[in-house]
């Protein structure tokens, strides 16, 4: 007879622990949702930082030093900076590009070596990964 109460106790313990683990899992989901909403608020704060979006993003370094050789593709006109940047990011061989804002010049390069010529005075800027 002593074995029966012991088994009943084990059964109650299993039910109790199952409920507790379910509660703990639900609590983790709630915490996750709170964390997600916090990160969304952080993203909104980052957008209000006043940073200049007209330049290349953090993946690129802007300079005036011309890129030497290794031209992948060249567009004489019609490419804004964002499109040129996207084209370079999408091309696995692209390590840098030259962009001219006035006409939309965009030239992708397979290297990021400086050529030693300042091209900013020609209305061009260089962006290196």
- Say how far apart CA 100 and CA 10 lie, in whole Å: 76
- Say how far apart CA 127 and CA 100 lie, in whole Å: 11
- In the chain, the DSSP E strands lie at 61-63, 65-67, 71-75, 96-100, 105-109, 114-118, 124-128
| Structural domain 61-128, CATH architecture | 3-Layer(bba) Sandwich (3.50)
pLDDT for position 52: 42
**Domain ranges (residues) in the chain:** 1-50, 61-128
**CB within 8 Å of 18: residues ≥ 6 apart:** none
List helix spans (H) across the chain: 3-47, 81-90
pLDDT by 10s per residue, the chain, length 129: 555 554 444 444 444 444 333 333 344 443 434 444 444 444 444 444 333 444 445 689 999 999 988 999 999 999 999 999 999 999 999 999 999 999 999 999 999 999 899 999 999 999 999
Residue 72 contacts residue 93 (beta carbons within 8 Å): yes
């Amino acid at each position: 007879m002593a074995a029966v109460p012991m088994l009943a106790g084990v059964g109650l313990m299993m039910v109790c622990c199952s409920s507790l683990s379910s509660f703990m899992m639900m609590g983790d989901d709630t915490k996750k949702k709170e964390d997600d909403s916090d990160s969304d608020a952080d993203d909104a704060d980052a957008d209000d930082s006043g940073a200049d979006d007209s330049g290349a993003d953090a993946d690129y370094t802007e300079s005036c030093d011309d890129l030497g050789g290794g031209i992948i593709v060249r567009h004489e006109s019609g490419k804004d900076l964002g499109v040129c940047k996207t084209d370079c990011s999408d091309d696995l061989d692209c390590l840098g590009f030259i962009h001219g804002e006035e006409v939309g010049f965009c030239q992708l390069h397979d290297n990021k070596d400086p050529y030693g010529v300042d091209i900013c005075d020609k209305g061009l800027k260089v962006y290196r990964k």
